[in-house]
Amino acid sequence: MSDEREVLCIRCPKGCRLELKIDEEVIVEGNQCKAGEDHGKQEGREPKRIVPTTVKIKDARWPRLPVRTKESISLDKVKDVMEAVEGFVVEAPIEKGDVVIKDVAGTSVPVIAERDMEKIR
Ligand code: SF4
């Protein structure tokens, strides 16, 4: 039995509403381009997201460093990623793009810094 779902395409600011018919294949309607079809198929098979969060940082001006997963991960792994990052502590200095965690929660995806943070003492 096929599943039907409506999702918003987030590949560009137009935000087309995509209608998905999910069976052995995913049929996408409502897209205005190939990128939207690709997004709809991905959402139908295995929805993925970049996960933004923060980690504690020592010896910096601010107590927390904004970070994110370098690549999109499966939505069903988001909770594992948040648990793995919780309690993680880095030390300043940090540069934007530095790898903070090499392989978060067994996803093979690194977590990277979203901004520079200087050492203050
Ligand atoms: S379907 Fe194409 S045009 Fe529509 S939001 Fe997605 S990327 Fe943009």
**12 CA closest ligand 1 atom index:** 8
Range(s) of the domain holding residue 37:
3-45
DSSP helix, strand, coil percent of the chain (3-state; round to 5) = 20, 35, 40
- What is the structure's pLDDT at 112? 98
* Residue 37 domain flag: yes
- Check which CATH number belongs to the domain holding 99 and give it: 3.10.530.10
- The tens digit of pLDDT for each residue in 59-107 reads 999 999 999 999 999 999 999 999 999 989 999 999 999 999 999 999 9
What average pLDDT does the segment 18-24 reach? 95
31 and 82 part of one domain? no
Helix (H, G, I), strand (E, B) or coil at 65: strand
For every residue of 79-90, which 3-state class applies, written as one string?
HHHHHHHCCCEE
23 and 8 part of one domain? yes
102 CA to centre of ligand 1 in angstroms: 32
* Residue 121 domain flag: no
| Burial group, residue 57, by CB count within 10 angstroms (0-12, 13-18, 19+) | buried
